[in-house]
């Protein structure tokens, strides 16, 4: 082999080694987390076309709610790294999808949404408020967008069945309306707790208590075993349960408990919740079988759907913020997040840039899957684990979520989302056709009914 041949071989070798060690995380080097996050963010955004001409800002193909999740993750990424490359697309998308009434019920999609779909946008807005994310002049504050989501969801609290609870779906014509589920109720619980801490308004704290206490009367939150069922149905009086275990259900109840713990300066009610839920989280989702790396039960068989691939990312971010708001939890959480982030980096050797990630974070070889969702989840763990490098402990100056009395400058509007809402008064008992409308309107009724069938088919296809 000549000199040139050997040089080419050497170059090829160098290139393959680089691809193989694609995302390399050193657990004690914050820059390695920043670089990993930057690579994951770049590949995530490459799946997004909402900022191209002719496209709809904030709308991802085939899904609406994931847009909120994506922006929430990009806001956290900005917070931890200071990289503002994606602030334009985030601000534009967040305001576009807030809809006509700035309550994340845009009329294009509002007729087939679940409470949880709307909530992810609300949580993204809340995150922006707490992190003093730059806002756009002349637009409603991030805080008011979150308040609008709270204000539209609270009237949907349905005491006529199971003594309370939110239905999964907003509208009674939707399949899944008979469920009261963990992510919808745990989502509103989390938002209420965060609004309570940010504004110090007791109404939000009262709601956080109501939702937690109600959940504890159902299989959605077992305060003895600290198990969280995915859903229960109201025809059973909320006694039956779908016991599928999902990271984000635990994460959302944990997060709300953590904010309430911080707000109440360590109330034992919330400390018991944090300790109990962390116990089941470690047991269920960080099993020794996978080396203590975070795993979603659907990862190993690779049968997570696109929604489910995102869940580990949510748990990652909520665990990271837990370490700042309840600093006594930091030790084990940081150890597990760092271990998981490092493992996830090894999973990210896919596609031509050798940096795309799969879903099996415990697997040191790329699992062959790729997508926006895989990127979003790994971005979340890479970026949010930077909380590990924050000074911990009481009084320490850290990047914990702000409040209106610790420098958070997002303006409060307690009545946001009320008033002109397209869905005002259309709670669970909304009947789309009144008796008066029905008189002599057989044809219309028929068109209406077939419309819903079409809508239902569409709903199944995208959400």
Ligand X SMILES: *[C@@H]1O[C@H](CO)[C@@H](O)[C@H](O)[C@H]1NC(C)=O
Chosen residue from 22, 25, 40, 45 binding ligand X by CB under 6 A = 45
Query: Counting contacts by CB under 6 A, is residue 391 touching ligand X?
Result: no
Chosen residue from 394, 405, 434, 435 binding ligand X by CB under 6 A = 394
Using a 10 angstrom Cβ sphere, with 0-12 exposed, 13-18 middle and 19 or more buried, the burial of residue 368 is: exposed
Query: Counting contacts by CB under 6 A, is residue 298 touching ligand X?
Result: no
Taking only Cα atoms into account, the Rg of the chain, rounded to an integer number of angstroms, comes to 23
Judged by CB under 6 A, the stretch of 181-189, 366-374, 394-402, 439-447 that binds ligand X is 394-402
Chosen residue from 39, 228, 293, 325 binding ligand X by CB under 6 A = 325
Terminal C-alpha separation, the chain:
58
Judged by CB under 6 A, the stretch of 1-9, 220-228, 243-251, 393-401 that binds ligand X is 393-401
Query: Counting contacts by CB under 6 A, is residue 326 touching ligand X?
Result: yes
Contact (Cβ atoms closer than 8 angstroms) between residue 358 and residue 350? yes
Q: Token pair for residue 424? A: 């005002």
Contact (Cβ atoms closer than 8 angstroms) between residue 256 and residue 208? yes
Contact (Cβ atoms closer than 8 angstroms) between residue 155 and residue 217? no
Query: Counting contacts by CB under 6 A, is residue 97 touching ligand X?
Result: yes
Q: By rule CB under 6 A, what count of residues binds ligand X?
A: 33
Task: Give min distance, CB of 45 to ligand X, in A.
Answer: 5
Query: Counting contacts by CB under 6 A, is residue 340 touching ligand X?
Result: no
Chosen residue from 62, 134, 391, 432 binding ligand X by CB under 6 A = 134
Q: Distance of CA 174 to CAs 161, 232, 300, 460, Å?
A: 17, 16, 32, 10
Q: Which is nearer to ligand X, 181 or 410 (CB)?
A: 410
Query: Counting contacts by CB under 6 A, is residue 63 touching ligand X?
Result: no
Q: Distance of CA 20 to CAs 79, 261, 357, Å?
A: 29, 43, 12
Query: Counting contacts by CB under 6 A, is residue 271 touching ligand X?
Result: no
Query: Counting contacts by CB under 6 A, is residue 152 touching ligand X?
Result: no
Query: Counting contacts by CB under 6 A, is residue 51 touching ligand X?
Result: yes
Q: Which is nearer to ligand X, 99 or 427 (CB)?
A: 99
Q: Which is nearer to ligand X, 70 or 326 (CB)?
A: 326
Chosen residue from 35, 38, 92, 132 binding ligand X by CB under 6 A = 132
Chosen residue from 371, 414, 424, 456 binding ligand X by CB under 6 A = 414
Chosen residue from 27, 35, 92, 96 binding ligand X by CB under 6 A = 96
| Residue with smallest beta-carbon separation from ligand X | 400
Binding residues (CB under 6 A) for ligand X: these are 45, 51-52, 56, 59, 85-86, 89, 96-97, 99, 106, 108, 132, 134-135, 141, 201, 203, 262, 265-266, 324-327, 394-395, 398, 400, 409-410, 414
């Amino acid at each position: 082999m000549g000199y040139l041949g050997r040089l080419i071989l050497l170059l090829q070798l160098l290139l393959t080694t680089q691809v193989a060690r694609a995302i390399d995380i050193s657990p004690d080097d914050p820059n390695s987390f920043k670089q990993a996050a930057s690579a994951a963010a770049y590949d995530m955004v490459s799946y997004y076309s909402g900022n191209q001409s002719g496209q709809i800002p904030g709308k991802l193909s085939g899904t609406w709610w994931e847009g909120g999740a994506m922006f929430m993750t990009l806001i956290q990424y900005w917070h931890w790294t200071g990289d503002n490359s994606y602030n334009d697309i985030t601000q534009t998308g967040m305001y576009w999808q807030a809809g006509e009434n700035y309550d994340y019920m845009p009329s294009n999609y509002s007729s087939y949404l679940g409470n949880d779909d709307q909530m992810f946008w609300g949580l993204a807005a809340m995150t922006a408020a707490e992190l003093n994310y730059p806002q756009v002049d002349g637009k409603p504050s991030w805080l008011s967008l979150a308040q609008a989501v709270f204000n539209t969801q609270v009237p949907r609290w349905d005491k006529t069945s199971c003594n309370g609870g939110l239905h999964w779906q907003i509208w009674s014509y939707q399949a899944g309306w008979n469920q009261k589920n963990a992510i919808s109720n745990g989502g509103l619980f989390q938002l209420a707790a965060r609004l309570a801490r940010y504004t110090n308004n007791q109404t939000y704290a009262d709601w956080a208590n109501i939702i937690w206490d109600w959940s504890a009367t159902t299989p959605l939150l077992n305060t003895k075993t600290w198990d969280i069922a995915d859903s229960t149905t109201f025809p059973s009086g909320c006694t039956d349960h779908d016991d599928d275990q999902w990271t984000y259900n635990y994460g959302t109840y944990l997060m709300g408990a953590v904010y309430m713990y911080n707000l109440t300066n360590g109330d034992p009610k919330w400390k018991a919740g944090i300790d109990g839920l962390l116990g089941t989280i470690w047991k269920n989702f960080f099993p020794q079988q996978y080396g203590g790396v975070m795993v979603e039960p659907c990862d190993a068989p690779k049968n997570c759907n696109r929604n489910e691939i995102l869940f580990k990312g949510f748990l990652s971010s909520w665990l990271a913020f837990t370490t700042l708001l309840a600093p006594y939890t930091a030790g084990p959480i940081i150890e597990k997040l760092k271990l998981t982030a490092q493992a996830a980096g090894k999973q990210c050797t896919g596609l031509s840039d050798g940096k795309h990630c799969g879903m099996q974070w415990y697997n040191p070889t790329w699992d062959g899957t790729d997508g926006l969702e895989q990127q979003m989840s790994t971005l979340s763990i890479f970026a949010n684990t930077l909380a590990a490098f924050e000074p911990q402990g009481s009084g320490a100056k850290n990047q914990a979520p702000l409040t209106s009395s610790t420098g958070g400058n997002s303006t409060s509007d307690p009545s946001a989302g009320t008033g002109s809402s397209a869905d005002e008064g259309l709670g669970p008992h909304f009947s789309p056709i009144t008796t008066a409308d029905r008189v002599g309107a057989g044809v219309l009724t028929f068109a209406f009914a077939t419309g819903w069938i079409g809508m239902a088919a569409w709903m199944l296809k995208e959400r």
